[in-house]
Amino acid sequence: MSASATPQPTATPTEEPPIQQAWSLAKDAPAEEGVRASEGLKEAVSAKSDTAGSVIQSLDDFALDFGDFHVSLWDIIVVLGVIALVLLAAYLLSKFSHYMLGRFTKLDSTQRLLGEKLLTIAIWGMAFFLGIDLLGIDLTALAVFSGAFGLAIGFGLQKTFGNLIAGIILLMDKSIKPGDVIAVADTAGNETFGQIRKIGIRAVSVTTRDQREYLIPNENLMINQVENWSYSSKNVRMQVPVGISYSCDLGKAEELMLEAAKACSRVLKSPPPTVWLSGYGDSSVDFIIHCWIRDPEDGVGNVRSEVLKKLWYLFQEAGIEIPFPQRDLNLRNNQQFEQLIAAISQRMDQRKDG
């Protein structure tokens, strides 16, 4: 009996994994990123209309790549459209809020102006963040920009933001408000007065009687001394200087001065005009007429002119003289003067003989 041969195991070749190329092991490169708002709008329009989708696709083909960022002509159109839409909406909403604030509130002009400025800042701030959201811009991508913007505010825009805050403070404490009359100085240093027309973000607009408009930074009005003629009361006392001859009746002259002041339509009856004797001048007795007005924004010089013209006619009727400047010359007697007199007398005698 023969033993059966035990089968010997045979080594089967093992399959080795295929060798992969180095580039296949790398992760897929991220897709180029564009403006997300334009991508979503393109997909929505393409789903509605193939024709419009093809037009948008052709616009999207005109593109430039900046690293991983893809910017096409379609992206630019969408960005400009979103910016224009947000700006228009913010402008209209700002105007509407101002209208509603003035119509349905009982605030005075200063409080309403302050409310309008705060609403404007809030609306434009919301419009800025809404535009960023519509464009799909990641706020973390603005980290570098926000740092640069902060430096710009700290250095270049420091005065601008300082004037903005100063304008809000001026409106809050009502020390200066539209309609007030304040004293201003021109470039030559001559002082005049003007009425505040507008308190803006950067400056206060002051218009004088000759329609010159001064733009004074808000910060200057907050930190410097300001002469406000109508802060607590609009009554302003003005002075009209008058001189009469020493030979005139002072009591009669005072009565006529008061009559001339009371005859002026803009001079207040209460407090009444007064007349003060201010001094004895070289050639006249000097008086000052004090009279009160309530509307300095309409001018001061025209009131002074009206009082003086009325007083002129009253003085003419009463025979009160407004003197001319007079000087007395005292010539001392000396040898040179006597020789001059003798020479003049001799010359006159020769002319008579001739």
pLDDT attached to residue 218? 87
Task: Give dist(CA 158, CA 155) in Å, integer.
Answer: 6
CA-wise closest residue to 133 among 38, 34, 37: 37
Looking at residue 16, the DSSP 8-state letter turns out to be P
pLDDT attached to residue 2? 44
- Scan for tokens 């240093």, then name that residue: 189
3-state class of 193 per DSSP? strand
Task: Give dist(CA 323, CA 249) in Å, integer.
Answer: 14
Averaged over successive runs of 10 residues, the pLDDT of the chain (354 residues) comes to: 47 48 39 55 66 67 61 74 86 85 72 78 84 70 64 70 82 81 76 84 85 87 84 88 91 93 92 93 91 88 92 92 77 75 83 73
Task: Give dist(CA 344, CA 354) in Å, integer.
Answer: 15
Domains recognised in the chain with CATH numbers: 32-139 (no CATH), 165-223 (2.30.30.140), 236-318 (3.30.70.100)
pLDDT attached to residue 39? 64
Residues paired with residue 193 on neighbouring β-strands, in sequence order: 183
* E strands present in the chain: 63-66, 69-72, 181-185, 191-199, 203-208, 213-217, 236-244, 274-280, 285-293
pLDDT attached to residue 29? 40
Largest CA distance in the chain: 201
pLDDT attached to residue 137? 67
Task: Give dist(CA 225, CA 60) in Å, integer.
Answer: 61
Is the full-model pTM beyond 0.75? no
How many other CB atoms are there within 10 angstroms of residue 35's CB atom? 21
pLDDT attached to residue 95? 86
pLDDT attached to residue 55? 66
pLDDT attached to residue 309? 94
